[in-house]
Structure formats: structure tokens, C-alpha cells
Chains A and B, each alone.
Chain A
Amino acid sequence: MRTDGSKLLEVLGEVRDGWRWRELWMTLGWRDVRTRHRRSNIGPFWNTLSLAFVATCIGTLYGGIMSRPAHEYIPHLVTGYMIWIFLQSLVLEGKDAFVGNASAIREIAVPKTVYIYKLLWKNLTILGFNSLVYIGVLAIFGLSPFPNIFLILPGLVIVLLNGIWAALLMGLINVRYRDLGQLVPNAMRLAFFITPILWFPEDATGIRRIFVDFNPFYYFIELLRAPLLGRAPSALIWAVTLGITVVGWSIAVPVYAHWRRRIAFWV
């Protein structure tokens, strides 16, 4: 497979052009948030409510089993779980970025990154609704995440950059090989349990450390969870997440550049 420079530039052009269509993808993203809870009275606040249920039930049950005090376990659980929902949606919806918009792709030539920005925007909005629970938890346990909370911003930028390449790559592969669409949800279900969300990373010892040390999701969760809990992510966290960003983009761009013209035929 050979891809020349001009094709790579076309991809970067598409990434940039997508930004100009923000009125479109912001409208579509917000509509997606609303349509999920159409005709319900509290609408998108169901996201908030459902996270609150999880925090209450799992928080008291698992906190007790692992004999951790509530003021330690519940903030850890709520932040970790809320970030997991975000990351998981970026992966699961990223693979459907093109398949799920087939009718639009066959009809009108807007930059295909529009569909990716739409899903990023949608999930950022849902993260916003979920963070109401986080704010509630801070209030109940009297925690203050300042000043490190501001590190959430560079952290989010890194996560979103990864969301773009993951959707470009998986979205493209899934257009051609639909088995990926079946494989990914299974993998993600497993990933939830082997990633320190319900449990603490420092509790994994010995050989079990591989589930923390070699788990990319751990680094992305920690990148956002640490600032939310008022800590600064360690240098290792920054290094690994930035490294994955660079590697991911340098794989996704040439692959996408080579095949992107075929998407309209395959969806």
C-alpha cells in the first residue's frame, strides 16, 4: 500500500474543513442527545439519573466489599465510570461513524469528519449531563478539586484527538469488514472489568499489574480522573497518552487517505 503526500494532505484538509461545518454537527449532535430520550419528560437528564443510581448502589455495595470508606470510593467510582461511559461511546460510536451515516454519505458531499465531530460533540454533551452527579458528589463529601481541575482541559483535548483517529480508522475498517462492529462491543465489555474503574489500580499486585500497566484505557481514564479528584496526572500518564495519540494518528491518516474514496461505494 503506497500513499503519496498529497493524499495525506487531503485527509488533514478534511479534518480542518470539518471544523467549518460546526453549525451542522453541533445541531446533529444535540439532536442525537435529545432523540435518545424522545418523549420522556426529563429527557437527557436520564443520563444524570442513571449515573446517580449507579453511584448510590454500586458505591455502597462495592465500597463495602472492598472495605473502602465511602468518601474515598464513591468519588473514585463516579469519576471513573463517567469517563468510561465517555470513552466507551467514542469507541462504539466511532466504529459506526460512516456505517451509521450511510444515507447522508451517499447523498451529499460534506467532509466525512463532520460525522466524527458530531459524535464527539454528542458525547461531550452527555459527559456534561453526567458531571452534574460529579458536582453533587463533591458537595456531599466536601471535596475541592482546585487547582488541578484545570488540567482536565488539556486532558480532554488529548482524548478528543484520539477519538478522531480512532473513528477515522475503525469507521473505515467497519465499512468494509463489518465483523469489527461485532467484535468491538464484546472487547469493550471485557475492558470495563479489567480496567480500574470499579477497583483501585494500586490494589492490583504481582502479575495482575499487567491489567493496569499495559491497559491503554487505564491511562486515558487516569488522565481525566486525576484532575477531577484534584490530583495532577503523573508524567507517565501524559507520556503514554500523548504517545498513543501520535502513533494512532500516524497509522490512521495513511490508511484513511488510501481508502477514503471507497467509503461511498461500501457503506
Chain B
Amino acid sequence: MALIKLENITLEFPVQASVSERRRSSSSEKPIGGQLSAGPSGNMVVRALDQLSLTLGPGDRLALLGHNGAGKSTLLRVMAKLYAPTHGRVTVQGRVAPLLNLSFGMDMDSTGYDNIFIRGLFLGMSKAELKKKADAIAEFSELGDFLDLPMRTYSSGMRARLAFAISTHVETDILLLDEVVATGDARFFKKANEKLESFARDSKLLVLASHSNKVLRDLCNKALLLEHGRAKAFGPIDEVIDTYAASTGTDGK
């Protein structure tokens, strides 16, 4: 069973940098990004997530919204158990397949077919399982004979297709996506959409960060709006998109 439970989590990055004298921002304007403060040893500390609580269950498809540096990717990495929060508790039940960075686990000099195996093994599949699924993955990616060519000959959209195909064919309960579906063309987007819908019907859990309201509306049923690492709004997708649109002064379409 898929479950993600975040209890009051705060995540702070220590960054080795000193405060520059170059420019002092006036107190009225708040920059994008997380909250900056000086740490105990003079380092800068970026508070990327601030006292965030959230519970997601089977069938939930969550959209993450927010300005650049609001903490969307960081939150995905916390859910993927890559970052341990500074305070608070994270409970994740079920197998997680993250798709955060398209070039990951991909060797540019190996063929697309070889890369199915490398990335698949990283996602916890066995070679025997991958042999069985390789055809389905190849077919879904629609790359055809390109799978026998080295990855460096691929366009970014083609890489996205392959990475997406692998991650969605893995036996998994939770899928974490960071702004990747958007790289594909319209045809692939439709296909990815169907795949993700069937994914949600199987009571699995999906979290997707994107700046495209259309993508989010099509794929998600809930949304979380982040602002400087804090949860600004959480609820049904349309309401949250409207709130976000109102705060940025755009129409949210």
C-alpha cells in the first residue's frame, strides 16, 4: 500500500558561503528561493522546507506548485528518501520510483537498450524481470531502431521518452516526477497521460512538480502550493491553481 506521511518537516541546507556586502535587499522585497539565514558557524543556511505536514494515500495524484526555488524538487527528494529532514518525521510505505533527472543512470555512450537495464537495475528490478519487460518499455518509448544507437545521438525529448518508459514500467507504488513529462511532444504527452491515469486507477500514488497548469490539471487531483518552503495552500487541484494564479496575477489557464 502506498503512503506518504510528512509530519512537521523542516529541511535546512548548510551552504559554504559568506554573506556578501555587495547588495542588501530591502526588507520589503522577498527574493525567490528558500529562506536564507546565517548559521551558527557563520555559514549560510537555506531553509528549503519549513514545517510542512502532509498525508497522501493510495490513488492520490498530487501536483506541486510554486515559484522557482519554492521547495518543490527538495520536497520530492525528501519523499524519495534522498534528503533526510533536519526536523520532523517522514514515513514512506511502498516502493518508490523517482524520475527527477533525465540524465541519471543513463550512459551516453551505451545504447538505449543497455540503458534500460542500467536504469532498471537502479530502480530495483532484476535482470530477469528487465528482460521480460524490455520489449514493453521499448514499445512504449516508440524509439524503435534508435534503441540500438548510443544515447548521445538522442534528442532530449527522446531521452525523456525512454526514462519515462522505464520508470513507469517498474513494479512500483509511488511515482515521483519532476517537470519531465513536458519535454515530450503532444503524442507522447497523451500516451504518458494515459499511463499515469492507469497508474492512479491501480491505487498508486503520484507526485508531480511542474509549472504547466495544463499538465497538472490533466494528471492530478490534488495540489500543494509552496511558497518559500511553506505550504501556502493544499486541496483540490482547481482551487489551488486559482489561488496560485490570483497570487501571481495570471489567469491560471
Contacts and interface: CB of A to CB of B under 8 A. Distances in A.
Interface string B116-157: 011001111011000000000000000000000000000000
A28 B84 CA distance: 26
Contacts of A108: 80, 82, 98, 104-105, 122-123
Contacts of A106: 77, 82, 101
Contacts of A36: none
A131 to B, nearest CB: 27
B118 A28 contact: yes
A103 B123 contact: no
Given A31-B107, A265-B14, A23 B126 contact: yes
Nearest to A28: B118
A104 B122 contact: yes
Interface string A99-111: 0000111111110
A109 B81 contact: yes
Interface string B83-96: 11000000000001
A104 B105 contact: yes
Contacts of B81: 109
B113 to A, nearest CB: 14
Nearest to B127: A23
A27 interface: yes
B104 A107 contact: yes
Interface residues of A, number: 19
Nearest to A261: B84
A56 interface: no
A265 B85 CA distance: 11
Interface in A142-198: none
B37 interface: no
Contact of A23 (B80, B98, B105, B121): B121
Contacts of B13: 265
Contacts of A109: 80-82, 96
A107 B101 contact: yes
A107 B98 contact: yes
Interface in A1-50: 21, 23-24, 27-28, 31, 35, 38
Nearest to A25: B121
Contacts of A35: 107, 109
B72 to A, nearest CB: 15
Contacts of B100: 107
Contacts of A31: 107, 110, 118
A264 interface: yes
B122 A110 contact: yes
A104 B80 CA distance: 13
A109 B118 CA distance: 15
A264 B121 contact: no
Nearest to B80: A109
B82 A107 contact: yes
Nearest to B126: A23
B82 to A, nearest CB: 5
A48 B84 CA distance: 44
A264 B98 contact: no
B188 to A, nearest CB: 22
A107 to B, nearest CB: 4
Contacts of B117: 27
Nearest to B83: A264
Contacts of A261: 84
Interface string A62-89: 0000000000000000000000000000
A107 B105 contact: yes
B103 interface: yes
Contacts of A104: 104-105, 122
Contacts of B77: 106, 264
Contacts of B80: 108-109
B82 A264 contact: yes
Nearest to B109: A38
Interface in A215-267: 261, 264-265
B82 A103 contact: no
A103 B82 CA distance: 12
Nearest to A260: B84
Contacts of A27: 117-118, 121, 127
A38 B109 CA distance: 9
Contacts of A264: 77, 82-84
5 contacts: A38-B109, A104-B104, A107-B101, A108-B80, A264-B83
Given A109-B82, A261-B84, A265-B14, 6 more contacts: A31-B110, A104-B122, A106-B77, A107-B98, A108-B104, A265-B13
Nearest 8 Cβ contacts at the A-B interface: A107-B104, A261-B84, A24-B121, A109-B81, A264-B82, A107-B101, A108-B122, A109-B82
Interface of B: 13-14, 77, 80-84, 96, 98, 100-101, 103-105, 107, 109-110, 117-118, 121-124, 126-127
